[in-house]
Amino acid sequence: MLIGKPPDIPSSQITSRDAYFNYLSRRRFLKGVAATGAAALGAERLAELVSPRAALAGTKLQTVSSPLTTTGEQLTSFEDITHYNNFYEFGVDKGDPAKNAGGLPTRPWAVKVDGLVQKPLTFDIDDLLKLHPLENRTYRHRCVEAWSMVIPWVGYSLSELIKQCQPLSTAKYVQFHSYFNWHVEKWATEDATIMWPYSEGLRMDEAMNPLTLLTFGLYGETLPNQDGAPVRIVVPWKYGFKSAKSIVEMKFVAKQPDTTWNDQAPNEYGFYSNVNPNVDHPRWSQKTERRIGLPFYEQRRTTLMFNGYGDQVASMYAGMDLKKYY
Note the Cα 228 to chain centre separation in Å: 7
Long-range pairs of 159-164 with CB within 8 A, sequence gap ≥ 24: 159/207, 159/208, 159/209, 159/210, 159/212, 160/131, 160/132, 160/214, 161/113, 161/123, 161/128, 161/131, 161/214, 161/250, 162/207, 162/208, 164/113, 164/119, 164/121, 164/131
Q: Which amino acid makes up residue 321?
A: D
Can you tell me which of 89, 185, 221, 249 binds ligand MTE, judged by CB under 6 A? 89
CB of 190 to ligand MTE, least distance (A): 11
Footprint of ligand MTE on 143-182 (CB under 6 A): 143, 178
CA distances for 302 relative to 140, 179, 193, 277, 290, angstroms: 13, 35, 33, 8, 9
Q: Does 212 bind ligand MTE (CB under 6 A)?
A: no
Instruction: Report which of 13, 17, 49, 45 is spatially closest to residue 31, judged by C-alpha positions.
Output: 49
Q: Under rule CB under 6 A, how many of the chain's residues touch ligand MTE?
A: 18
Q: Does 227 bind ligand MTE (CB under 6 A)?
A: yes
CB of 64 to ligand MTE, least distance (A): 23
Q: Are 197 and 180 in contact (CB under 8 A)?
A: yes
Whether residue 230 is preceded by a cis peptide bond, meaning omega within 30 degrees of 0, is yes
d(CA 215, CA 217): 6
CB of 221 to ligand MTE, least distance (A): 14
Q: Does 196 bind ligand MTE (CB under 6 A)?
A: no
Part of the chain binding ligand MTE (CB under 6 A), chosen from 71-79, 87-95, 276-284, 292-300: 87-95
CB atoms within 10 A of CB 295: 8
Between 103 and 142, how does the x/- string for binding to ligand MTE read (CB under 6 A)?
Answer: --------------------------------------x-
Can you tell me which of 57, 66, 87, 173 binds ligand MTE, judged by CB under 6 A? 87
CB of 58 to ligand MTE, least distance (A): 15
Q: Are 33 and 104 in contact (CB under 8 A)?
A: no
Part of the chain binding ligand MTE (CB under 6 A), chosen from 23-31, 80-88, 206-214, 302-310: 80-88
Q: Does 88 bind ligand MTE (CB under 6 A)?
A: yes
Closest CB to ligand MTE among 22 and 215? 215
Can you tell me which of 83, 245, 251, 291 binds ligand MTE, judged by CB under 6 A? 245
Q: Are 167 and 249 in contact (CB under 8 A)?
A: no
Instruction: Report which of 14, 272, 233 is spatially closest to residue 139, judged by C-alpha positions.
Output: 233
Part of the chain binding ligand MTE (CB under 6 A), chosen from 19-27, 79-87, 277-285, 295-303: 79-87
CB of 204 to ligand MTE, least distance (A): 21
Closest CB to ligand MTE among 178 and 262? 178
CB of 122 to ligand MTE, least distance (A): 20
DSSP-H helix ranges across 103-217: 125-130, 158-165, 204-208
- The residues that touch ligand MTE, with contacts defined as CB under 6 A, are 1, 85-89, 141, 143, 178, 198, 227-228, 240-241, 243-246
